[in-house]
């Protein structure tokens, strides 16, 4: 999500600026960063609506930024109103796993891995440990599931392309779901374990496709769709539901 307005560059010391802005009664962190090739102001809402990012042309004075934010305050209010409120995961929460909502239930055990069950037709994620550690236990389970799915999917897609993956890492990134370096290092947000299998497969295919095309050109998307024929469907799902996955707090 973004809004933009063309501006004429004016000299100003470079370097990121961090501040806060109030929208709908919430204080959100705002990062203002110059980009050498930027010709206009670009405002983006980070996934989950927990932060804002402004990219500006080199040398643009901060008073121009303030004016831009004032003019687009209504736009921000509207967009943020459609993003789910911050939700802290605890016992009794509902957390999706591979696209299926699970009720978080705590066992009497102090230790042990989480397990998924179906009880009376309801999908349950049963965790161990103290109540205050519930969020961490759920996150640990999602990390394990993401690793299990993605390593198998990445291996299959890489083999199909005849490319080698140097390493795979898992992070809690908010600005992107995955990344691929030029030397074959792939990184994924473990939150993708909450998405349906189709979307997890798409993400694996997307990053592996970068091993052949380090860009988002037509050639890249052709490779991506060859690996994952339902790419368009998966992208649409992420666009519509990604904020929910990012809004959960563990």
Residues 92, 74, single domain; the answer is no
Residues 42, 165, single domain; the answer is no
Distance, in Å, from the CA atom of 114 to the CA atom of 99, rounded to the nearest integer, reads 18
Residues 235, 116, single domain; the answer is yes
Final residue in a domain of this structure, among 81, 100, 132: 81
Distance, in Å, from the CA atom of 104 to the CA atom of 93, rounded to the nearest integer, reads 5
Residues 77, 197, single domain; the answer is no
pLDDT band for 173, please (50, 70, 90 cuts): confident
> What's the domain range around 208?
88-249
Least confident of 20-29, 113-122, 193-202: 20-29
Residues 77, 19, single domain; the answer is yes
Q: What residues contact residue 25 under an 8 Å CB cut-off, 6+ apart?
A: none
pLDDT tens for residues 225-250? 999 999 999 999 998 888 889 888 89
Say whether 8 sits in a helix, a strand or coil.
Answer: coil
Question: Which tokens sit at 28?
Answer: 């959100």
pLDDT value of residue 180 = 96
CA torsion through residues 172, 88, 196, 237, sign: negative
Helix axes 197-209, 231-247, angle to 10 degrees: 110
Residues 67, 133, single domain; the answer is no
pLDDT tens for residues 180-222? 999 999 999 999 999 999 999 999 999 999 999 999 999 999 9
Domain count, the chain: 2
Residue 195 near residue 241, CB atoms below 8 Å: yes
Whole-structure pTM value: 0.71
The CATH number of the domain holding residue 181 is: 3.30.2010.10
Residues 42, 108, single domain; the answer is no
Say whether 58 sits in a helix, a strand or coil.
Answer: coil
């Amino acid at each position: 999500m973004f809004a933009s307005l063309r501006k004429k560059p004016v000299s100003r010391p470079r370097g990121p600026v961090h501040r806060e802005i109030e929208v709908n009664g919430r204080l959100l962190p705002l990062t203002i960063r110059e980009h050498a090739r930027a010709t206009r102001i670009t405002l983006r809402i980070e996934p989950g609506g927990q932060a804002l990012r402004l990219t500006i042309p080199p040398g643009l004075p901060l008073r121009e930024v303030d004016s831009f934010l004032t003019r687009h305050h209504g736009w921000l209010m509207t967009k943020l109103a459609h993003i789910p409120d911050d939700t802290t995961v605890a016992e009794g929460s509902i957390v999706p796993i591979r696209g299926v909502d699970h009720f978080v239930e705590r066992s009497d055990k102090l230790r042990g891995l989480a397990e998924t069950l179906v009880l009376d037709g309801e999908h349950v994620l049963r965790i161990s440990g103290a109540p205050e550690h519930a969020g961490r236990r759920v996150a640990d389970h999602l990390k394990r599931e993401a690793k299990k799915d993605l390593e198998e999917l990445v291996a299959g897609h890489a083999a199909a392309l005849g490319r080698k993956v140097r390493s795979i890492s898992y992070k809690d990134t908010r600005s992107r779901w995955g990344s691929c370096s030029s030397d074959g290092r792939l990184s994924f947000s473990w939150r993708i374990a909450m998405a349906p299998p189709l979307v997890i497969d798409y993400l694996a295919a997307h990053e592996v496709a970068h091993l052949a095309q380090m860009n988002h050109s037509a050639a890249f998307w052709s490779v991506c769709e060859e690996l994952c024929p339902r790419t368009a469907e998966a992208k649409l799902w992420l666009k519509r539901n990604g904020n929910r996955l990012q809004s959960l707090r563990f």
